[in-house]
Amino acid sequence: MNAPELGVLIPIIAVGGFFGWMITLSLSKMYLARLKAQGDVRPMAGQEDVLAALEALRHEVTELAERVDFTERLLARGRDVEAGKPAPGDRRTGSA
């Protein structure tokens, strides 16, 4: 190829490449939008029931954990009293 032919071919390739890139970019955006639309599926009624049951179980486990903590504190207080240590809420005076 000689120089004048190459001088005409370079701008044609550059402009064609630019528009090709723009078309590819717009097609990829449309494809991505379609994929996101397919991913936004609402949970089915059965799933909502399972989620509600799971939330109820979490609540029950939280209540049980609070009961265990309370029982552990009572047992620890009983052991401390038997050992002669003051309980966390008790005050001792020097005149006892």
In tens, the pLDDT along 15-45 reads 999 999 999 999 999 999 988 888 766 666 6
In a domain, 1, yes or no: no
For 13, phi then psi, to 5°, come to: -65, -40
- For residue 77, pLDDT beyond 70: yes
Q: Is residue 90 part of a domain?
A: no
Residue 93 lies in a domain: no
The total number of structural domains in the chain stands at: 1
Kindly state the DSSP code that residue 3 receives in the 8-state scheme: H
Structure tokens at 20: 């090709």
Tell me whether residue 88 is in a domain. Answer: no
Mean model confidence pLDDT for the chain: 84
What confidence category does residue 92 fall into, taking pLDDT thresholds of 50, 70 and 90? low
> Regarding predicted confidence, which is higher, 82 or 24?
24
Domain that holds residue 67: 8-34+44-83
- What integer is the mean pLDDT of 43-64? 88
Asked whether residue 21 is domain-assigned, the answer is: yes
User: Is residue 94 domain-resident?
Assistant: no
Q: Quick check: is 91 in a domain?
A: no
Q: What share of the chain is helix, strand, coil (3-state, %, to 5)?
A: 80, 0, 20
